[in-house]
Amino acid sequence: MKTRIFLMFIAPSLALMLIFIALPLGYVFAQSFYSTSQEFETVQVLSCTPGFTGQTCVTESRSRPKLDAHGQPVLTTSFVGLQAYRELLQPDAIAKAREAGSSLLDAILSVDFYAALRFTLTFTLVTLPLVISLGLAIALAVNAAAKSLRGVLIFASLLPFIITPVIGALSIRWLFQGDGILTATLRAITHSHLSMFAQGWTIELLMMTYRVWHAAPFAFVVFYAGLQTVDQDTMESAIVDGASRLERLRSIIIPHLVPLIVFIALIHLMDTYRVFEEIIGFSSQAYRISLQFLTYSFLNPDQTGNRAITRASASSMLTMVGIVLLLIPLIRRTWKTHRVRR
Partner 1 sequence: MNELAKPIWLKGLTAAFLAAWVIAAMFPLLWTAIMSFRVPLDALSADPLTVLAGPATLSAGKGLTAADIGLTLAALAAIAWLAFHGAAKQAALTALACLIAIPLLAPWLDHALNLPPILGLTLEYYKAVWIDHEFYRNFENSLIITAGVVTVSLTVGTLAGYGLARAASKLAFWILILALIFRALPHSVLVTGYLPAFLDSRTLLAPLWNAPILGSLLHLFSNEPPTLYGQPLAIIIVLVSINQPFTIWIMRSFFDGIPIELDEAARVDGCTHIEAFWRTIMPVMWPGVITTGLFSFLLAYNDYLVTSLLLDAQSQTMVPAITQFLNRDTSASDQIQAIAAAVSITAPLFFLVMAFQRQIVSGLTAGAVKG
Chain residues 304-323 in contact with partner 1, contact rule CB under 8 A = 307, 309, 312-313, 316-317, 319-320, 323
175 touches partner 1 (CB under 8 A)? yes
78-95 CB burial, b ≥16 within 10 A, e <16? eebeeebbebbbbeeebe
Q: How far is the CB of 126 from partner 1 (least distance, A)?
A: 18
Collapsing DSSP states into helix, strand and coil, what is residue 229?
A: coil
Only one of the segments 47-55, 59-67, 96-104, 145-153 lies at the binding site for partner 1 (rule: CB under 8 A); that segment is: 145-153
Chain residues 27-66 in contact with partner 1, contact rule CB under 8 A = 27-28, 31
Chain residues 86-125 in contact with partner 1, contact rule CB under 8 A = none
The radius of gyration of the chain from alpha carbons, rounded to an integer in Å, stands at 28
* H helices, E strands: number in the chain: 16, 4
Single residue of 43, 48, 105, 239 touching partner 1 by CB under 8 A: 239
Single residue of 117, 273, 287, 289 touching partner 1 by CB under 8 A: 273
Q: How far is the CB of 181 from partner 1 (least distance, A)?
A: 5
218 touches partner 1 (CB under 8 A)? yes
236 touches partner 1 (CB under 8 A)? yes
What's the Cα-to-Cα distance from 93 to each of 38, 163, 318, rounded to whole Å? 27, 41, 19
327 touches partner 1 (CB under 8 A)? yes
Only one of the segments 25-33, 37-45, 107-115, 193-201 lies at the binding site for partner 1 (rule: CB under 8 A); that segment is: 25-33
268-304 CB burial, b ≥16 within 10 A, e <16? bbebbbbbbbbbebbebeebbbbbbbbbbbbeeeeee
Collapsing DSSP states into helix, strand and coil, what is residue 36?
A: strand
130 touches partner 1 (CB under 8 A)? no
Residue 35 C-beta-side C-alpha neighbours within 13 Å: 14
Single residue of 25, 45, 67, 105 touching partner 1 by CB under 8 A: 25
Single residue of 84, 97, 117, 172 touching partner 1 by CB under 8 A: 172
156 touches partner 1 (CB under 8 A)? yes
Q: Which of 284, 231, 316, 248 is nearest to 119 (CA)?
A: 284
Only one of the segments 43-51, 55-63, 80-88, 327-335 lies at the binding site for partner 1 (rule: CB under 8 A); that segment is: 327-335
Residue 241 C-beta-side C-alpha neighbours within 13 Å: 10
Nearer to partner 1, 10 or 67 (CB): 10
Single residue of 84, 132, 136, 260 touching partner 1 by CB under 8 A: 260
- Across the chain, the runs of DSSP E, i.e. the strands, are 34-38, 40-50, 55-65, 75-79
Single residue of 114, 165, 202, 285 touching partner 1 by CB under 8 A: 165
In angstroms, the first-to-last Cα distance of the chain is 15
Single residue of 52, 63, 78, 155 touching partner 1 by CB under 8 A: 155
Single residue of 211, 226, 284, 287 touching partner 1 by CB under 8 A: 226
